[in-house]
Structure 1
Amino acid sequence: MIALEEQLKNPVWYSLNETHKKFVEEYDGVQFYKPEVCTFGSFFDETKTAKASNQYLKTTDHFFFVSENQTPIIDDDKVFLEKKIDGCQMVLNKLTDVEISEDIVLLGHEFIDEIYDLIWLVMPGYYRKGTYEMGKYFGIFKYGKLVSITGQRMQTNQFIEVSAVVTHPEYTRKGLAKQLIAHTTKEILKENKTPILHTNKGNLAIPLYEKLGFELTRDMNWWLYRIK
């Protein structure tokens, strides 16, 4: 078994080799998620990323390479870098005790459209309906309306990523996200796995994550490429 520390250096790769193996598309040692699920790609040998990218772009118009410190090589005639997101990885040290006062619901497949709509309202751009298949989603409802969610994204036999932390603008600053993150983290711990999350450097939510017991551990960068 690959040690947890090694897996966390390349979480997309190891997710696609374990829990999410059914979602993998591989091109000569470069691995991507099926585009209807997620457009993340991973690699160890950057000399193979240009050819692999060209192949993958036959199925989608954009994708991310996720890397701690390597820079992908691309075919400039066919692909351009839209932006590089300077991100960071956080790993749970010890979960802070949080009072759960809200009714938190495990969201079944019947809520897939509501999850999609809420994420696109708050963070438009890259979430796909198939991303729901990557892990469990939890939500809080107000007056019959889904107003706050958290989800699980990348995962292996040793870790699960907390993701899709989204609250409707009319319900922010009410502690909903805090309770959902705590609940989702507890659910991960029940599986004897390590909770992790990824965010942008400088994200105003980082102090909240730290108060919940997460620690900054390493850079984890997203290179967004798009077909020319």
Structure 2
Amino acid sequence: MENKLKNPVWHSLCETHQKFVIDYDEVKFYDPKICPFGAFTNSSKTAAALNEYAKLTDKFFLVSENETPTFNNNYIKLDKKIDGCQMVLDNLVELEISEEIIQLTENHIDEIYNLIWLVMPGYYKKRTFDMGKYFGVFKDNQLVAITGQRMQTDNFVEVSAVVTHPNYTRRGLAKQLTHFVTQEIIKDGKHPMLHTTKGNPAIGLYEKLGYQLTRDMNWWYYHSTKI
């Protein structure tokens, strides 16, 4: 599993999410309707792959632990490099779940999309929902907090989309949802992991639940110069 965690997008597209893959020469991307993420095993091949993928979508990411992708300045622009980190569950710390947490369905897709884009705009697609299970908390008939599953292999599942509506923060919703989704992954016989940005205050929350920082994971954010 350790080798898979070093290149999680790549191995997800080789295994559980193979049905979503767009495969170039030593570079793989998700179908952009699902998720605008890609990964590679040979950085010298990324420039040509980015040029091709840019024909399908305007904005997209390559994810790598420590390799630097190449790209063609005539067609592709690097908007920013996001310094991220990976956390892997060590031992789940017990937590009382006081909220009613429900599994979200196709009927909730618009609500999920709108809440994630309110809190963390820029990467989530409506069909990202197809990557795994999503769970939520409702208050006054409104979806106010979400946590879901994103990248997956035969061994691990990524906890993702940990978002809470700004009017409902500091109530422990994210902590309970993250714990709940982590338990669901363990029940399925897989190992939970997640990604976040370096310095994110949420790292402390994840550590209290039993996650440990393991490695850097960088997100190279590009767009086509045709935009």
**One-letter amino acid matched to 2:33:** E
TM-score under structure 1 normalisation? 0.98
Indicate yes or no: 2:26 matched with 1:13: no
Offset at residue 86 of structure 1 (A): 0.1
Determine the structure 2 residue equivalent to 1:195. 192
Determine the structure 1 residue equivalent to 2:77. 80
Offset at residue 122 of structure 1 (A): 0.7
**Aligned equivalents of 1:188 and 1:41: distance in 2?**
23
**One-letter amino acid matched to 2:208:** K
Match of 2:119 among 103, 108, 122: 122
TM-score under structure 2 normalisation? 0.98
Determine the structure 2 residue equivalent to 1:66. 63
Residue-by-residue CA offset, 1:38-71 (whole Å, 9 max, x unaligned): 0101101001000011001000001100000000
Match of 2:218 among 206, 217, 221: 221
Q: Percent identity?
A: 64
Q: Structure 1 stretches of 5 or more lacking a match?
A: none
Determine the structure 2 residue equivalent to 1:163. 160
Q: Which runs of 4+ in 1 moved over 6 A?
A: none
**Aligned equivalents of 2:39 and 2:117: distance in 1?**
25
Number of aligned pairs? 225
Q: Structure 2 stretches of 5 or more lacking a match?
A: none
Indicate yes or no: 2:63 matched with 1:97: no
Give the aligned CA root-mean-square deviation in angstroms.
Answer: 0.5
**One-letter amino acid matched to 1:9:** K
**Aligned equivalents of 2:217 and 2:119: distance in 1?**
22
Matches within 5 A, 1:135-150: 135-150=132-147
Determine the structure 1 residue equivalent to 2:33. 36
Residue-by-residue CA offset, 1:200-227 (whole Å, 9 max, x unaligned): 0000100000000000000000000111
**Aligned equivalents of 1:29 and 1:69: distance in 2?**
17
**Higher mean displacement: 122-131 or 52-61:** 122-131
Determine the structure 2 residue equivalent to 1:109. 106
Offset at residue 110 of structure 1 (A): 0.6
**One-letter amino acid matched to 1:196:** M
**Aligned equivalents of 1:126 and 1:66: distance in 2?**
13
